Amino acid sequence: MTDLTPREIVSELDRFIIGQNDAKRAVAVALRNRWRRKQLSDDLREEVYPKNILMIGPTGVGKTEISRRLAKLARAPFLKVEATKFTEVGYVGRDVEQIVRDLVDSAIAMTREHMREDVKANAYKAAEDRVIEAIAGEDAREGTREMFRKKLKSGELDDTIIELDLADNSNPMSMFEMPGQPGGGQMGMMNLGDLFGKAMGGRTVKRKLTVSESYEVLIGEEADKLLDDETVTRAALDAVEQNGIVFLDEIDKVCARSDARGGDVSREGVQRDLLPLIEGTTVSTKHGAVKTDHILFIASGAFHIAKPSDLLPELQGRLPIRVELRALTEEDFVRILTETDNALTLQYTALMGTEEVAVSFTKDGIAALAKIAADVNQSVENIGARRLYTVMERVFEELSFTAPDRSGEAIIVNAEFVETNLGALSKSTDISRYVL
């Protein structure tokens, strides 16, 4: 849960997504509303439901990206699923509940990852306390402890032998990466299971170790105490219920149109099946029951043919916030190539840098890339910013292959470079259809 304000959320999203301000504002408000809800009294809190969002816009303009970045920012469990998946042959109504099960699985992985990060710092601190206690004795005064803590940090005590009570079993455990040590540098990976088993419960044994050796063992024990499966699962279920975000793509493709017949029954069926999830129901998963009431749903579609008003009325009511995302222009492409934190120009420069090839882009080079992407989008098919990926890959094709032989060289990506590498290609619709 983040306490960022809507303005701060938008400015975080601005780092990765160009334009689409309405959509950014809508998701920022949705996230802030979760924080607001958290501040309420228990009984009122249960009454406040998320206002789900319907994103309307062509493909490749940032709908998924905004939602995914939002989830990351909020450390929220996130799942993207295509509504059309449920129109497939062999589909049975209850399958939509799989959405929640998948969300739980991804939440467990995410929660474990986050807890592992948190645990590293805490476990390190706890291990330090235990080492100090072993050296200074249980009843040592604060001043004495602090003195030892300083010595410990400077590495002075690394070779001191201490006696510790350690867990006495040897269940195999997972590999765990440890932070750096005082005086000992980076310890890298170690297999805790080889050393000791679960730190909780069980018997303990006394062991004599040097301080530097003991760190590995103690951090392992402390981390394990904090990271048992049950704690992770419980936290993950809670995260799904309170913070989960489901991105429901292609919702327009499950609309029954008044002028069409045939497949419409199953499409409308999918909407009917989705409805309880969005309205709030309880889904049983192998990790426990999950209430979907407060999960945020972001539905999305191009709505080229069907209109939002073609959705089931109940579903329309559950997607009260409508935002339109616009098609991206050549100018947007220039900005996407240069202004975002993860811009493709940065990525290619870094990748080539690993081969000691220094790539740089000139303004006219960027303009040429953006123009080709926009032209191909217009002449072949508009796939939005995704076109930049295919264009860039093509421009760099030759260099990507030969880079290891060209270490030490400087490559300037200017208009001429772009023209040489794909000028002819982009002018032929027939060819660019296949390669760009």
Using the minimum distance from each CB to ligand ATP, give the nearer residue, 342 or 354.
Answer: 342
**The residue type at 309:** S
Find the shortest distance in angstroms from Cβ 68 to ligand ATP: 8
Query: What is the side-by-side strand order in the sheet with 78-82?
Result: 78-82, 245-249, 296-301, 53-56, 321-324
Is residue 187 exposed (0-12), middle (13-18) or buried (19+ Cβ within 10 Å)? middle
**Residue 63 counted as an annotated binding residue:** yes
Report the distance separating Cα 233 and Cα 115, nearest Å: 11
Find the shortest distance in angstroms from Cβ 63 to ligand ATP: 3
Using the minimum distance from each CB to ligand ATP, give the nearer residue, 232 or 344.
Answer: 344
Helix (H, G, I), strand (E, B) or coil at 90: coil
Find the shortest distance in angstroms from Cβ 100 to ligand ATP: 21
**Residue 269 counted as an annotated binding residue:** no
Instruction: Looking at residues 411 to 430 of the shown chain, list those that interact with ligand ATP (rule: CB under 6 A).
Output: none
Instruction: Looking at residues 288 to 307 of the shown chain, list those that interact with ligand ATP (rule: CB under 6 A).
Output: 300
Look at strands 296-301 and 245-249 and give their pairing.
parallel
84 binds ligand ATP (CB under 6 A): no
**Residue 314 counted as an annotated binding residue:** yes
Report the distance separating Cα 60 and Cα 137, nearest Å: 63
Distance of CA 403 to the CA centre of its chain: 31
Contact map string, positions 17 to 36, toward ligand ATP, x by CB under 6 A: xxxx----------------
Number of residues that bind ligand ATP (CB under 6 A): 19
Find the shortest distance in angstroms from Cβ 262 to ligand ATP: 24
Q: Which tokens go with 395?
A: 């421009």
Report the distance separating Cα 336 and Cα 341, nearest Å: 9
Contact 100, 290 (CB under 8 A): yes
252 binds ligand ATP (CB under 6 A): no
345 binds ligand ATP (CB under 6 A): no
Find the shortest distance in angstroms from Cβ 435 to ligand ATP: 19
Using the minimum distance from each CB to ligand ATP, give the nearer residue, 235 or 302.
Answer: 302
**The residue type at 433:** R
Instruction: Looking at residues 113 to 132 of the shown chain, list those that interact with ligand ATP (rule: CB under 6 A).
Output: none
13 binds ligand ATP (CB under 6 A): no
Using the minimum distance from each CB to ligand ATP, give the nearer residue, 271 or 377.
Answer: 377
377 binds ligand ATP (CB under 6 A): no
370 binds ligand ATP (CB under 6 A): no
Among 6, 50, 197, 384, binds ligand ATP (CB under 6 A): 384
Using the minimum distance from each CB to ligand ATP, give the nearer residue, 224 or 252.
Answer: 252
Q: Which tokens go with 363?
A: 């303004």
Q: Of 245, 232, 341, whose CA–CA distance to 1 is shortest?
A: 245
Report the distance separating Cα 66 and Cα 75, nearest Å: 14
Using the minimum distance from each CB to ligand ATP, give the nearer residue, 26 or 328.
Answer: 328
Handedness of CA 308, 311, 317, 321 (dihedral sign): negative
Contact map string, positions 311 to 340, toward ligand ATP, x by CB under 6 A: -----------------x-------x---x
Among 239, 274, 385, 399, binds ligand ATP (CB under 6 A): 385
Handedness of CA 305, 323, 290, 102 (dihedral sign): positive
Report the distance separating Cα 98 and Cα 245, nearest Å: 14
71 binds ligand ATP (CB under 6 A): no
Report the distance separating Cα 368 and Cα 42, nearest Å: 57
310 binds ligand ATP (CB under 6 A): no
Using the minimum distance from each CB to ligand ATP, give the nearer residue, 123 or 436.
Answer: 436
Q: Which tokens go with 188?
A: 């890298």
Q: Of 185, 184, 187, 167, whose CA–CA distance to 175 is shortest?
A: 187
Q: Which residues bind ligand ATP (CB under 6 A)?
A: 17-20, 59-65, 249, 300, 328, 336, 340, 384-386
Per the annotation, binding residues for ATP are 18, 60-65, 249, 314, 386
Binding residues, by number, are 18, 60-65, 249, 314, 386
